[in-house]
Chains A and B, each alone.
Chain A
Amino acid sequence: MFTITVESSPTRQSFQISTGDSVLVGSEKCLSNLIPVGCRGGGCGVCKVRVVEGDYSSKCMSKAHICDAQAADGYVLACRVYPLSDMCIELVKR
């Protein structure tokens, strides 16, 4: 279990996530509705967030939504990110 804290929502909120779930699926399971849900496969870009702090592993994400420069700035697709520690993320305005 890790804690994911979401900044830049109206109030700072957090949810618990089980090992093996992506940040997006963890958010869905907690009914937190904080992160928009799309394809859950790294393709559509609607779940884009920025990692402020924390370790994670990730699977490939569409370059159409996360270019190399954005990746370097910590932008990720939440459906492709698997926490390895507590994390702090920030929502991205679409």
Chain B
Amino acid sequence: MKKGVMRPGHVQIRVLDLEEALEHYRDLLGLIEMDRDTQGRVYLKGWTEVDKFSVVLRKADEPGMDFMGFKVLNNEVLSQLESDLTAYGCDVEQISSGELKGCGRRIRFVAPTGHSFELYAEKEQTGKWGLSNVNPEAWPRGLKGMKATRFDHCLLYGPNVEATYQLFRDVLGFDLAEQVVDPEGNRIAAFLTASMKAHDVAFIDCPEPGKFHHASFFLDSWEQVLRAGDLISMTDTSIDIGPTRHGLTHGQTIYFFDPSGNRNEVFCGGDYHYPDHPPVTWKAEDLGKAIFYHDRVLNERFLSVLT
């Protein structure tokens, strides 16, 4: 049942070198640089996003994900979810308005998989980049690289996928859109949505907590995904796999790495989910096809290369 969580709002990614990371996220993915703060963090977003930013880059000693944030409907929902999380047994940390520039009060908790998540209700709205809200043109000129349209979802690896799924379902109102189930009936992957998208966040079981598999950005067409592949080669960017199609969600995709080794995805298409839809199930025995629909075999990296 919906609890007022709207969408993935931001992800803070740790990088080893900020300038290299900017060349990647701004010039190659085509995200728009929106701001910087006194901590040296850089704020970016996809051009179709109305809120001020969705990706925050922070220089650190080790790459990975600091946290992923979801925007909720309003402040009443935020307060309600805060008490619901506490009642569920989560430690809820308060982060004051403005700690991320242009973002209102946030609450943060750690899921059983070891990842930090945030909820917030308010963020400055700068509008779609380069377009007016009145009689908008089809797209803005001057976009760079892959012209990524929006931050879409993260795939995260950690233990206790089941407990994390229950927390997201029972407290935050996410639906299970797709799952991978092993022969003993254990759910080893949960693809969760708060919207009609096939996933807003996904989890895959792994012994090490808090691992980051990828942050994903949406493109409009298969042609754009192929063009992204061309740009990856032109810039000698580290490729993982693709262009190909996923079995899970059926999105058309390419995986590659940022200069600090964090995996990125750009994709298009994908299934949709309504709250009354039963989850789609993939069998763990067929994980190769579930992940890479054309090759039908996993590459070793999919399960073991994480930040």
Contacts and interface: CB of A to CB of B under 8 A. Distances in A.
In the complex, which range does the number of interface residues on chain B fall in? 20 to 34
B28 to A, nearest CB: 13
B263 interface: yes
A77 to B, nearest CB: 9
Dominant SS among interface residues on chain A: loop
Dominant SS among interface residues on chain B: loop
Contact of A39 (B17, B61, B62, B238): B238
B261 A43 contact: yes
Contact of B17 (A36, A37, A60, A63): A60
Nearest to B211: A44
Give the one of A41, A60, A63 with max B CB within 10 A.
A41
A44 B263 CA distance: 10
Interface string A15-31: 00000000000000000
B259 A41 contact: yes
Contacts of A42: 16, 63, 260-261
Given A41-B258, A43-B262, A44-B261, A63 B62 contact: yes
B230 to A, nearest CB: 19
15 contacts: A37-B301, A39-B238, A41-B63, A41-B262, A42-B261, A43-B64, A43-B257, A43-B307, A44-B261, A44-B305, A44-B307, A59-B17, A62-B16, A62-B61, A63-B61
Q: What are the 4 tightest A-B residue pairs by CB atom distance, in nearest-first order?
A: A43-B261, A41-B261, A39-B261, A40-B238
Interface of B: 16-17, 61-64, 238, 240, 257-263, 300-301, 304-307
